[in-house]
Amino acid sequence: MSQAQFKRFVSLTADRINMFWRKLHSSNQEHDSDQKNAKVNELKAAIGHLSGRSLQYCSNACLRRYLEARSWNVDKAKKMLEETIKWRSTYKPEEIRWNEVANEGETGKIYRADFHDRYGRTVLIMRPGMQNTSGADNQIRHLVYLIENAILNLSEGQEQMSWLIDFTGWSFSTKISIKTSRDTTNILQNHYPERLAVAFLYNPPKMFEAFWKVTKYFLDPNTFQKVKFVYPKNKYSVSLMTEFFDVENLPTELGGKVTLQYDHEEFSRLMAQDDVKAAKLWGFDRKLGRANNGYSSAEVVPEPTPLAPPAS
């Protein structure tokens, strides 16, 4: 066999091997997909009859998230989902309206950014140093509202959001209590599984590390892996952040090139518009005049709190 014939033989053999592995990989993917679809159907059957909002909530995509969060164990996913259905029936996160939590957002301590990450995901910016209240229940209700709003504004085909947590101004005097952190983590992990893609903790002070050592024990391993610490002088962590975000969109406080200016009145207008979208999504867009004709007050869109006109 000549050298040219040998090279051709090696090339053909390599092509056949690659083709074999591609077919095998494709076959495995199809098999895996079929298995997961079967798990979704199994979970759907295990949950049983649902109606109203619970039925709307438990879409196939939703069932897949709960299965993913429980390593595709149907029994564990069923227990988790049933606990969420119970929680949603009492907490009613879809009924929270901005005018009920707007006072929590006056300083811009949590708000939805006007940009997406590189993967088209909604971004929530959190600034714990701007904490302006002390009531844990209202703080959590405010966060739940914004998580629901972030989900409402996800790009088509996208199911996860990103968090940017800016520690500018954070100190022990403005810290969130361990109980609030635990309750917040419980809600995020157990009632919004697989909704968080990544959380960047930007420039946390050294004192936060002690707080984190306690808080991290409330996180499951999967969520823990999604939390990234970013320090401006650490090239690796900064480069990791730029993999997810365009610096042209990021505020300067987070290593970007945009001046951060939270406008509470403008954000309130935006949230009032989104409340109408949410009401339509959940079937609450009934005319106010029909509130006494067979519809409960929960099915009526609350009127947004009037906003003061801009100062001249």
At 197, which helix (H) or strand (E)?
strand 196-202
DSSP letters of 55-66?
Answer: HHH--HHHHHHH
Average pLDDT, the chain: 83
Using left for φ > 0, alpha for ψ between -120 and 50, and beta otherwise, residue 218 falls in alpha
Higher-pLDDT residue of 232, 14: 232
Predicted pLDDT at 311: 38
Per DSSP bridges, beta strands 196-202 and 122-126 are unpaired
* Amino acid making up residue 235: K
Structure tokens at 130: 């701007």
**What's the CA gap between 42 and 47, in Å, rounded?**
9
Report the share of the chain in percent with pLDDT over 70. Answer: 79
pLDDT given at position 177? 66
Residue range 100-283 in CATH 3.40.525.10: yes
Domain boundaries, the chain: 34-91, 100-283
Interacting residues of 63 by C-beta distance below 8 A, sequence separation 6+: 40, 43, 44, 77, 81
pLDDT of 199 > 80? The answer is: yes
Percentage of the chain exceeding pLDDT 90: 54
Contact 122, 162 (CB under 8 A): yes
Q: Which range has highest mean pLDDT (53-67, 123-137, 231-245)?
A: 53-67
Q: What is the pLDDT of residues 207-226, one digit of tens each?
A: 777 777 777 777 888 888 89
Q: Answer whether residue 26 shows pLDDT above 60.
A: no
Whether residue 28 is predicted with pLDDT greater than 60 in this model: the reply is: no
Residue 24 pLDDT exceeds 60 = no
Global confidence as pTM: 0.80
Whole-number Å distance between alpha carbons of 190 and 84? 7
